[in-house]
Amino acid sequence: MVLLRRRPLAASYLRAAPSWLRAVGFTYPVLAPPPDWPGDKPRFNAVEAVPEHPELPKLIVRVGDEHEFIASTQDAFVAKAREVGASLEVIEIPHAAHGFEGHGADPEARAAVDRAVSWFVRVLGR
């Protein structure tokens, strides 16, 4: 299991999943580089990497008050995962902001964190 938080490096795990990798979890991630980014776009594009290992369980925790660019990469990731039938669970926290866990004890956010932990327990307990 790898928990990737705010790291644009998920694509490498999705493209060439190591044998020990049993699940991938994302919390409000950036899943693709900006269109005008001059760097190595394929290396950092998790959206394009989803079809490589659709069976790998994936979890994404999304917030309602997200930066527009970040939300657009998450939308694209979810759409691609659904298009290829990838194993994906999405937890939405509609009233939370990016970085919600540092903004106090919101019951909605706590419930989402509990769901995410339960997802990992269920997936890794197989």
Predicted confidence at residue 98, as pLDDT, reads: 78
Q: What's the chain look like in SS3?
A: CEEEECCCCHHHHHHCCCCCCCCEEEECCCCCCCCCCCCCCHHHCHHHHHHHCCCCCEEEEEEEECCHHHHHHHHHHHHHHHHCCCCEEEEEEEEEECCHHHCCCCHHHHHHHHHHHHHHHHHHCC
pLDDT in tens, 27-62: 888 999 988 888 888 888 999 999 999 999 999 999
Domain residue spans in the chain?
2-124
Report whether CATH 3.40.50.1820 matches the domain 2-124. yes
Task: Give the mean pLDDT of the chain.
Answer: 88
Give the rounded percent of residues in the chain with a pLDDT score beyond 70. 94
pLDDT of residue 7: 46
Q: What is the pTM of this model?
A: 0.87
Q: In this model, does residue 15 exceed pLDDT 80?
A: yes
